[in-house]
Structure 1
Amino acid sequence: MSNRRTNVSAVTGGAVRRALGETGPSWVAGAIAAGPATMAGLIAAGASFDYALLWVVVLSAAAGALAQYLAMRLGLLTERGIASVVEDHLGETWAWVLVADVVIAAGVAQLVIMNTVASVSATLTGLDARLWGLVWALVLAVGIAGRGYRFVELLAKVLVTAVVLAFVASLSVVPVDYGAAASGLVPSLPAGGALLAAGILGGAVHITLITMHSYTMRARGWTARDYGVATVDVGVSMLVAFSVYSVAIFLVAASVLADPELTTVGAAEALGPLVGANARLLFLLGLGGAAVSTLGGNTVVPPFLVADKLGWGTSVDDARYRALLAAFALGSGLGAFIGGEVIGQLVLVLALGTVGTPFAVALVLYLLNSDAVSEPTPPLANAGGIALLVVSGTLAANFVREQVGGGVDALSGAVLAFALALGVATLALFVTYAREEASPA
């Protein structure tokens, strides 16, 4: 890390217009957040509980922006990948726990999202979904492993913008009861809503989004001097684009859909007879764009952390990283062979991310308040981070309690075991921090 001290307490470094032109890394995180898994949670929430969970949707965008801001701050002030920072300040075991957390959460998500991409492609073209899975896997491998991070960033910017416009357009042809929607801004958690609330929040505050940010900023060459543009980057992608995306999808589902068993593709099909073919097409195109952009962004995350932990480069200039990236991209094609209705799989994937997120948030807060960074963390940022930890931890605990109460099968049991393991790790991190604070300087 550079020894220079830079004022990073405010958005500096030029006009907002210039900053907008330089944004990028947080758009990749936004592309992952604005994916079919988030869409599944939003559709299921709206179709099941009308407007009651709108407050969770709004909260998720604010929480997502806050999580990205904290991750941004850590990445800029250390100018290193999070895995190597964790290893230096907590030890190798903690670094491997973080890498395993990310690989499991992102790997499972990759397979299920590929299943969604293949299903949408099959619906639009009539070709077999499994064939589409193989095609998209090859496109990912050639595009990302061949052209590197800047290809992912360009894809994210174009597709996220197009997806937001598609869903805003579909909202314009759906009758929304805005008075009833306003009542959904009052926090309440209907019976059976814990999984969906955890899923919605998990789409915005996800361990993959938090951990990838230091690597995407490094790929752009950003340092502490770029604090201003990095802050604008987070605000535009998460507070604006992701917020509009989430609210639009939720309002469409809450207004005209009443079947919580619908798949994401099924929701688009249901819109046809309800509000017209245009809404159906727009919804399908938005779903397809969101799924592809999420696949592209998610593909780079596990290779980033694994390569960093192994001491490899984290760009395609390093042949080992390039091979790892290509292997992960090609392996994702297996997701198209899963089959079955994807909405339950997608919501569970989001919940899996939610139970892994408190550990990631706790790690970032620990490092921001350690000697890993040269600048003190503002009290307001710390307070927000603690609030984020409490909210994500509470929703994760509610999800676990709901799963146990409803009976545990093989899939939910695996998620439960994952949650318990990371819960123990998070508590151990708290103990470590408390001991360090209590020990003499």
Structure 2
Amino acid sequence: MQTPTGSEEPTSTGRVKSFVSNMGPSWVAGAIAAGPATMGSLITAGGAFGYELFWIVVLSAVAGAFAQYLAMRLGLLTERGIVGVVTDQLGDTWAWLLVLDVVVAAGAAQLLIMKTVAGVSATVTGIDSRLWGVVWAGVLAAGLATRGYRFLEVAAKVLVGGVVVAFVASLFVVPIDPTAAVGGLVPSLPSGSALVAAGILGGAVHITLITMHSYTMRARGWTVADSDLATFDVVASMLVAFGTYSVAIYLVTASVLTSGDLSTVEAAQALGPLAGPFAKSLFLVGLLGAAVSTLGANTIVPPFLLADKLGWETSVEDDRYRGLLVVAALLSAPGAFIGGPVLSQLALVLAIGTVGTPFAIAVVLYLLNSSAVPESNSPLANLAGLALLLVSGTLAANFVREQVAAGIGPLSGAILIFAVVLGLGTVGMFGKFIRREGAPA
């Protein structure tokens, strides 16, 4: 942040305190990342493979922070929402493709997140989960319609902070094997672990997190002058808070659970007889906080992109945008009525989001090396971005191949079409970049 004219340069301690008090946008992304889908993948990995996938848990926090850094940089350099920039640089077709990508990924996730929120609320209170679905949808609609982004940001910081504290506290009541945990930092993929590893990484590097960041920074009025604050925000939320959240859950489940076939609620209940009632309570409290924060943060993503594409303001001062928020919130209520095992459903939704993520990464990399920004990406940032694209693309391809191998039905067929369209879009993005770079100045 800029130092006011005539004032003394702040000390390092004062600068950090200022950053801590002003951070926020990346915590909204962190609220989505630290959600029940990621938790489900961590529980499955820890219960089924013990400490062997600890390395992918650590890698996911680093990769997630870097993806948010790229999105942050694009938002600061353009000072616009990503859809508007895509429209100017690539055209309407590409912009609508990005909007469709986000609406499908975030919309599918919203229903399962509500199912988790309602299920945990029912477990804690004994009241029917379907009633909780209606109640939470109403609370969400009222909060977002009246307070908008600021309401969400404050809630995200409080809830994510509380969730991290709850799961870190659980480390002190569950026996951890430090030697085995350190051994898990050596990269390996035991048989049958590829999909769950993809789920862990996909929870941190996701299309909703990447595309929403330019809008949350606009809501705060951040510009290039706030680059240091924005970077601190990303590191604190994604690398530190989300990383701690992931590590704590993974170590707890890897140390105690012996099955990866448990839902998030079942995992919490299993901790009671295995590690004591306090461990169960901490896990349930953490799960509820994570689910509620994710529900709110995920709700605003489709309205952000739709409003930007339609030329509306992305704040509650615009009644049209306010209406989008209310509709998105209320449409989450049916999630509480979905039957079936939530863990496998969450994994599927996370994987669907993973299919849409490579296209979003390609869009960001294209824009960061275009006339949309006054300063192009460094070669090192581009190289790291391409590595991130390769990893996410490989995970998406493996998921689609697995779906097709199991037989093409209505769901797998829809996933295949979604993947093909976005895959062609990603390849087309690179084709446009090569043609642009090869064109005479």
TM score, norm. by length of structure 1: 0.95
1:248 maps to 248
Q: Partner residue of 1:288?
A: 288
For residues 407 and 321 of structure 1, the distance between their equivalents in structure 2, rounded to whole angstroms, comes to: 41
1:377 aligns with 2:377: yes
SS state of the match for residue 115, structure 1?
Answer: helix
Distance 2:194 2:327 in 1: 36
SS in 2 for 1:15: helix
The aligned counterpart of 1:221 is 221
One-letter amino acid matched to 1:334: P
Match of 2:125 in 1: 125
Provide the secondary structure at the position in 2 that maps to 1:80: coil
Letter of the 2:77 partner, please give it.
Answer: L
- 4+ residue segments displaced more than 6 Å: none
Whole-Å Cα distance in 2 between the matches of residues 52 and 415 of structure 1? 30
Aligned: 1:411 with 2:416 = no
Residue 359 of structure 2: aligned partner: 359
Deviates more, 1:365-374 or 1:413-422: 413-422
Give the Cα separation in 2 of the matches to 1:288 and 1:32: 13
- Aligned partners of 1:195 and 1:402 also within 8 Å: no
1:180-329 → structure 2 map (5 Å cutoff): 180-329=180-329
Please, which moves more after superposition, 374-383 or 156-165? 374-383
Are residue 337 (structure 1) and residue 301 (structure 2) matched?
A: no
Find out whether 1:143 has 2:182 as its counterpart.
no
Q: Report the more deviating stretch, 48-57 or 64-73.
A: 48-57
The structural deviation recorded for 1:353 is 1.3
Match of 1:68, as an amino acid?
Q
Cα distance between partner residues in 2 of 1:413 and 1:254: 35
The CA distance in 1 between the partners of 2:288 and 2:359, in whole Å, is 31
Q: Which amino acid aligns with 1:193?
A: S
SS of 1:323's partner is: helix
Q: CA offsets, 1:333-379, max 9 Å, x none? A: 11101122100011111111111111000000000000000012222
The 3-state SS of whatever aligns with 1:173 is coil
CA distance in 2, matches of 1:256, 1:420: 41
State the TM-score, normalizing by the size of structure 2.
Answer: 0.95
Output the CA distance in 1 between the equivalents of 2:193 and 2:434: 35
Distance 1:232 1:193 in 2: 33
Unaligned runs of 5+ in 2: 1-11
CA distance in 2 between counterparts of 1:214 and 1:108 reads: 22
Q: Are 1:78 and 1:373, in contact at CA under 8 Å, matched by a contact in 2?
A: yes
Listed as ranges, the gaps of 5+ residues in structure 1 are: 1-11
Q: Residue type matched to 2:420 in 1?
A: L
Shift of 1:408: 4.3
How far apart, in 2, do the equivalents of 1:213 and 1:405 lie? 36
Partner Cα distance (1:376, 1:84) in 2:
19
2:196 counterpart SS class: helix
Question: 2: distance between equivalents of 1:191 and 1:356?
Answer: 26
Aligned equivalent of 1:426:
426
- AA in 2 matched with 1:380: L
- Higher mean Cα deviation, 128-137 or 44-53? 44-53
The two structures, once aligned, show a CA RMSD in angstroms of: 1.3
| 1:139 positional shift | 0.4
Which amino acid is the alignment partner of residue 280 of structure 1? Answer: K
The letter of the residue matching 1:119 is: G
Deviation track 1:70-98 (CA, whole Å, cap 9, x = no partner) reads: 00000000000000100000000000000
* Equivalent residue number for residue 3 of structure 1: none
Equivalent-residue separation in structure 2 for 1:307 and 1:282 (angstroms): 39
Which range is displaced more, 417-426 or 281-290?
A: 417-426
CA deviation profile, 1:245-302 (whole Å, cap 9, x unmatched): 0011111111111222211101001111111111111101100000000011011100
Native 8 Å contact 1:102 1:207 kept in 2: yes
Q: How many residues align?
A: 429
Shift of 1:411: 3.1
Question: C-alpha separation between the residues in 2 aligned to 1:415 and 1:258?
Answer: 32
Aligned partner of 1:39 in structure 2 is 39
The secondary structure found in structure 2 opposite 1:359 is: helix
